[in-house]
Amino acid sequence: MKIYITSVFVDDQAKAEKFYCDILGFKIKDDIPMGDFRWLTVSQTGAEGETELLLEPSAHPAVGPYRDALMADGIPLASFLVDNLDAEHRRLASAGVEFAQGVTDMGNVRMAILNDTCGNLIQLVQKRTVPED
């Protein structure tokens, strides 16, 4: 078993598409009209077999209170792995991305938390290389 699709709820799919693709660098995998909304997924390269992120409309009434509580408590909705957190932080900050938490060392990982402009906090994580004995 493996993760196929996971979701982030977004206020505006067009705005989310621009942020997740143009700023973060993901590629569109599926973009299918579905009434007022779209089945809009992104992945690392857009290739088959990659884990997809569904940019899901936040229209359901339960979403607002859920996301508001996470945001108020500073809890990220999703976590993305990066190879070089310092470089990503610099790149994204220079593109105007707002960080709720800068680069922080947390044991075997380093992390930073950004605001995706679509109602969510997203955590960036870099795993530390542990020296072998």
Q: In what order do the strands lie in the sheet with 52-57?
A: 5-10, 52-57, 37-43, 27-34
Q: Tell me, what's the pLDDT at 129?
A: 77
Asked whether residue 54 is assigned to any structural domain, the reply reads yes
Asked whether residue 58 is assigned to any structural domain, the reply reads yes
Burial of 8 (0-12, 13-18, 19+ CB in 10 A): buried
Domain count, the chain: 1
Q: Tell me, what's the pLDDT at 133?
A: 57
> What CATH number is given to the structural domain containing 35?
3.10.180.10
Inform me whether the pLDDT recorded for 132 exceeds 60.
Answer: no
Beta strands at 27-34 and 5-10: parallel, antiparallel or unpaired? unpaired
Asked whether residue 117 is assigned to any structural domain, the reply reads yes
Asked whether residue 132 is assigned to any structural domain, the reply reads no
C-alpha distance from residue 47 to each of 5, 61, 88 (Å): 14, 33, 22
Asked whether residue 133 is assigned to any structural domain, the reply reads no
Asked whether residue 21 is assigned to any structural domain, the reply reads yes
Inform me whether the pLDDT recorded for 108 exceeds 70.
Answer: yes
Whole-structure pTM value:
0.91
Asked whether residue 52 is assigned to any structural domain, the reply reads yes
Over residues 74-89, the mean pLDDT reads 96
User: Taking the mean position of all CA atoms in its chain, how far away is CA 16?
Assistant: 10
Inform me whether the pLDDT recorded for 121 exceeds 70.
Answer: yes
Write out the residue range of the structural domain in which residue 82 sits.
Answer: 5-127
